[in-house]
Structure 1
Amino acid sequence: MSEQAIEPALPVTAFERRFKHPPGLVILFFAEMWERFSYYGMRGLLKLYMANYLFVTAREAYQGCRQHAQPCDLVAGDPTTVFAWEFIKGLLPSAPNEQASMLYGLYTGLVYLTPFFGGILADKVWGQRKTVVIGGVLMAIGHFVMAFENSFFIALLLLILGNGAFKPNISTQVGSLYPKGDPRRDGAFTIFYMGINLGAFICNFVCGTLAAVYGWHYGFAAAGVGMCLGLVVYLAGQKYLAKDNLMKTAEGAGEQKQPLSGDEWKRVGALVALCALNVVFWAVYEQQGNTMQSWADEKTVWPTVLGFQIPSTWFQSVNPLCIILFAPLLDVFWRWQAKRGTEPTSVSKMALGCTILGLSFIVMILGAQAVGDGKGSLFWPVFCTLLLTIGELYLSPIGLSLVTKVSPVRIVSMMMGMWFVSSFLGNTLSGYIGIFYTRWSKDMFFLLLTVLGLGAGAAMFAFNKPLRRVLGQH
């Protein structure tokens, strides 16, 4: 089908004629950018906050106290004042770092489980627009509640529920800007994915720096402000967004009540199988904010610039910066492959992504052997992150686009939530894997990550042909 023959999903604007994409993409880009600013700004502080402040009695009042040539004084604290901590502590290991690893994995996992239910709510009850707004409000409240130490777990619960409502429904709205068969859709998701990572890049310079200079809670408050900005952008740009599925159904244009056909059930099953194969990828990939952040904090020499000690949380900006730099280059590379007829299918790209992820941790094996018991260069974690970012670009945005292309339209939000269920399982598994960071030698731990990544890639290559038969040449 030619691009000229495709009926537009929205009236074509002067903006779209000039920039080749509808203005709604800009609205969703910036709304998601600010939401990710809030999520990753908080996430970059989370493990260190738990291990070095909240769950110990001798606390670092500022992030990264031990990095300074003259460490700041520790302050007294009492973790028992945190609501529900006595009960939760009984379910965890005794060491604060291991407690933080498991809770980090559980939190980052649950924020990817609730999108499944958020997708169902959007498809059946509220519609994507209302669900996004409800999710954004819950997350903004959660970030500000984080300022009260005794309400820490209440804040996490609000963030988990809010993310579940927000995340799948803003992603599906990107796809709804384009009609079925529009070749611009993959490019739109690449642009949208760069918005995610622009927010993830800048947040650590704001949230991490505030936490290092003024204290932890200033960093969390900045994340809350970012979420509020995302809500404002989204509400202001409503007229540029496509009608969601419930709106179309109310106008008689939807097919909400029709049962799924046999072919649609096959596509749903194939997507579920693909999600299952993604679990190990996310379990390894999410060590970035867990054990890799611990390495950056404890085993890396961070420079001092003009008298300012760079906080270790700035490490969390390396991955999004690499995405911003490499995503356009990969897009050009894939288009070059497409012209030659050699571009891999979506499933093949995802298999390559898993393989590259596994290979990236060979860098950390060498780094662990070189550094030993001391501290080492920024090169090791930064170069490892550069490589695993290429693996991420081969898997994550490709998967998002694939879900919107092959899912039955009337359950697309639920299927986007199903995609995030693989992230839930992977993130939760990452917390358990992270325990071995303190129990094993560092080179053996990173060897485990290498083996897991390569194994996931091999499994995905093995299932490539049967999945292609169901999903088609996507």
Structure 2
Amino acid sequence: MSLTEHTATDVITEHSAPIGADPTGPEMFGHPKGLFYLFFAELWERFSFYGMRALLVLYMVNELLYSDNVAIGIYAAYGALVYATPVLGGMIADKLLGYRKAIMLGAVLMALGHFALAIEHPIFFYGALALIIVGNGFFKPNISTLVGSLYKQGDKRRDAGFTIFYMGINIGAMLAPLICGYLGHEYGWHYGFGAAGIGMLIGLIMFWNGTRSGVFGQNGLPPSQEVLNEKVAGVTRGAWVSILSVVSLPIFAILLFNGTMDIPGLGQVSLDGSLIDIIMYYILLPVIAIVLFYNLVKVDKVERERLIVVILLTFFITVFWSFFEQAGSSLTLFAERNVNLTFLNAAQTNSINPFFIVLFALPFSAMWLFFSKMRMNPFTPVKFALGIAQLGLGFMIFAWSANYADADGRVSIWFLILGYMFITTGELFVSPVGLSKVTELSPVKIVSFIMGIWFLSSSFAHHIAGIIAKLTSVSGSGDGEVGGMDSLLVYTSVFEQIGYVAFGFALLALLLTPIMRKWMHGIH
């Protein structure tokens, strides 16, 4: 996810070509050829991810008959975990596997997970989500970092390259709800989940083909093949990573589970979803804080201040995603219950945001380059403030729609589309810009770990988003028939509050801009 405004300093990691070498290799359309293999691999991986996401809450509410609270809780836990595992995946790639092997392992696990969702059984349901969580941890941070490693230090094409990569993400995210949502709605939920699995398999093949054809050069290889092949208890370290990944699956399934289930041989098993709260806030967050503090002390003054800026940007992106991620839960249920869906079903409304990304990404990229040449380009903190404000405006539009509802408590789909448009322009101000700044501002030896921290912000954001979404809960039975004026007022009142809070954080980002600009030390 990367679109930036200024000449970027590349990330030369332990797995990249050495400084002074040209890591780009063969080119296509003025960019490293490897970029386009990563483009299509990420496109299909995001197709699988967002195709499943568009169906998940609706499937739980309408098919599994979970209440809003339970479905939103599971969705929030899944979102939190799927963006927490990249911290570990980034560290393992940095120290042991290298980007390529981590990406391949992640792709295999996610493909298995999406296909497992097509099997109707609670154990397969939770096991499938666990596979996707673990697989995403290996895949997501490392494919983004591999994109950055394709460009040599100071390459002015780097920002545009991340923008192309971001387009691949959103083309996949746009097509997935349309196709998977259609199949799920017309033929059955599991046809939609199966289509997501096929998408992941195509992404896996695309990346594997790229590694075979040599388009990545020396980038993404293990830091030490000898260490990777070294045996521990008779098994290589690389094999231990795969084994422990599989062993961890029941743990993640348990963290997701929130309710009671009949398990053959065990009878009824009940678990409390608050386990994930303990893991995130009492274990994960302190560990991350300690590691960050250690690195802040270890690096020099310039690196320290730049890293502090990354932490502040991560805070603001967490705020942004906490509101933005209503899209997969409360906004999807709002669309089903209180929007006149004339040409899209509720699952397919998840394609509106990526549609606008695809529409606006290249014009935004050109706009930043134009502003940069004119020396009018806003600094990154200003862009964050403007992006959060636009998100707030989008939610205010959702809230204002209540004034134009019909007698059944339904509003025009154009309110949904217009609100999503402003949320999307806000995203283009923060997400692609922020991702590129992480790779620029982070100390080079821990760049994948910091990239994992960046994705971890989405983990905490999903958890917070679940708390917010539960404020919109209007269903206790999970029958999927809730609607009317009562639910409309519940949804729109929460959306209005989100809008006001977003405006407040936008103002805070503006106030912090001078000090953040100083600490970026020349990076725009």
Whether the TM-score (by the shorter chain) exceeds 0.5 is yes
Paired residues for 1:224-235 under 5 Å: 224-235=197-208
**Among residues 105, 123, 126, which one is paired with 2:97 in the alignment?**
126
TM-fit CA distance, 1:312: 2.0
Asked if 1 retains the 8 angstrom alpha-carbon contact of 2:398 and 2:419, the reply is yes
Tell me whether 284-293 or 267-276 shows the greater mean CA deviation. Answer: 267-276
Output the CA distance in 2 between the equivalents of 1:242 and 1:392: 32
Please tell me whether residue 359 in structure 1 is matched to residue 389 in structure 2.
no
| Pairing 1:48-447 to 2, within 5 Å after superposition | 48-56=58-66, 96-148=67-119, 149-150=121-122, 151-238=124-211, 239-244=214-219, 247=222, 260-303=299-342, 310-371=344-405, 373-438=408-473, 441-447=490-496
CA displacement at 1:9 relative to structure 2: 3.1
Superimposed CA distance per residue, residues 411-448 of structure 1 (whole angstroms, 9 cap, x where no aligned partner)? 11111111111111111110110011136733321111
Q: 1:389 to 1:209 in 2, by over 3 A?
A: same
Which deviates further from its counterpart, 454-463 or 206-215?
A: 454-463
For residues 236-266 of structure 1, the C-alpha deviation after alignment (integer angstroms, 9 at most, x for no partner) is 0011114346646679xxxxxx964443333
Work out whether 1:10 is the aligned partner of 2:23.
Answer: yes
For 2:316, the aligned partner's letter is L
- Cα displacement (A) at 1:160: 0.8
Check the 8 A contact 2:97/2:222 in 1, yes or no: no
Q: CA separation in 1, counterparts of 2:178 and 2:222?
A: 40
Per the normalisation by structure 2, the TM-score is 0.76
Check the 8 A contact 1:289/1:316 in 2, yes or no.
Answer: yes
Higher alpha-carbon deviation: 171-180 or 438-447: 438-447
- % identical aligned pairs: 40
SS at match of 1:437: coil
In structure 2, what is the equivalent of residue 27 of structure 1?
37
Moved more, 433-442 or 109-118: 433-442
Shift of 1:357: 0.6
> Is the CA contact 1:361–1:447 (under 8 Å) kept in the aligned structure 2?
yes
Conserved? CA contact 2:98–2:223, under 8 Å? no
- Which residue identity does 1:370 align to in structure 2? Y
Distance in 2 separating the partners of 1:260 and 1:366: 49
User: Is the contact made by 1:206 and 1:219 (CA closer than 8 Å) also made in structure 2?
Assistant: yes
The answer to whether the 8 A contact 1:113-1:420 is kept is yes
Q: Residue 74 of structure 1 aligns with which residue?
A: none
Unaligned runs of 5+ in 2: 1-5, 9-18, 227-294, 475-488
How many angstroms does 1:455 deviate by? 2.1
Q: 2:404, 2:146 → 1: CA distance?
A: 47
TM-score, normalised relative to structure 1: 0.84
Provide the residue aligned with 2:48 in structure 1: 38
CA distance in 2, matches of 1:242, 1:378: 48
Counterpart selection for 1:452 from 487, 501, 518 = 501
- Cα shift readout 1:371-410 (whole Å, capped 9, x = no counterpart): 1652221111111001110000000011111111121222
Aligned residues: 419
Q: Which amino acid aligns with 1:20?
A: G
- Aligned partner (choices 27, 32, 47) of residue 57 of structure 2: 47
CA-based RMSD of the aligned residues comes to 2.2
Aligned equivalents of 1:219, 1:250: Cα separation in 2: 40
Over 3 Å counting, the alpha-carbon distance change for 1:2 and 1:12 in structure 2 is farther
Cα pair distance change 1:122/1:371, threshold 3 Å: same
Return structure 1 stretches of 4+ with deviation > 4 angstroms: 245-251
Aligned equivalent of 2:258: none
Answer yes or no: is the 8 Å Cα contact 1:277–1:459 preserved in 2: no
How far, CA to CA, are the matches of 2:128 and 2:173 in structure 1?
20
Opposite residue 9 of structure 1, the aligned amino acid is D
Q: CA deviation at 1:270?
A: 2.5
Q: Is 1:173–1:242's contact at 8 Å kept on the other side of the alignment?
A: no
- Partner-residue secondary structure (3-state), 2:95: helix
Q: Which amino acid aligns with 1:274?
A: L
Match of 1:463 in 2: 512
- Aligned-pair CA distance for 1:273: 2.5
Which amino acid is 1:354 matched to? I
Shift of 1:146: 1.1
Cα distance change of structure 1 residues 8 and 186 upon mapping to structure 2, 3 Å threshold: farther
**1:7: how far off?**
5.2
Given that residues 185 and 401 in structure 1 are in contact (C-alpha distance below 8 angstroms), is that contact kept between their aligned partners in structure 2? no
- State the alpha-carbon separation in 2 of the partners of residues 185 and 379 from structure 1: 36
Could you tell which deviates more after superposition, 216-225 or 460-469? Answer: 460-469
